[in-house]
Amino acid sequence: MDPQRLQQKIQTILERNTRVEQDKAWEVSIIRRTFVAAVTYSIACYYLWLIGVPQFWLHAAVPAGGYILSTLSLPWIRKWWMKI
């Protein structure tokens, strides 16, 4: 294999690694979690308002809060899972 082709393969691998690292950082970012929780809350509010649930704004916090709690518990569960 010639050096130029080898260098090109190495560059391709490095670019892929950068993309994977950025994707992983996005998956665990506070911005992503906050955005998903806000969208979940908004959709739940709208739906609960639409069907006439009293204090819909308070009830809509349940699914959004559940999402946030699940994302907070996942790192602990992942560490446990990796040990078994």
Residue 14, pLDDT > 90, answer: yes
When divided into structural domains, the chain yields a total of 1
Can you give the residue range of the structural domain that contains 64? 3-83
pLDDT of residue 10: 93
| pTM across the whole model | 0.73
CA distance 45 to 9: 50
Q: Please state, in angstroms and rounded to a whole number, the distance separating the CA atoms of residues 61 and 54.
A: 13
pLDDT tens-digit map of 22-80:
999 998 899 999 999 999 999 999 999 999 999 999 999 999 999 999 888 777 888 88
Over 80: is that where the pLDDT of 1 sits? no
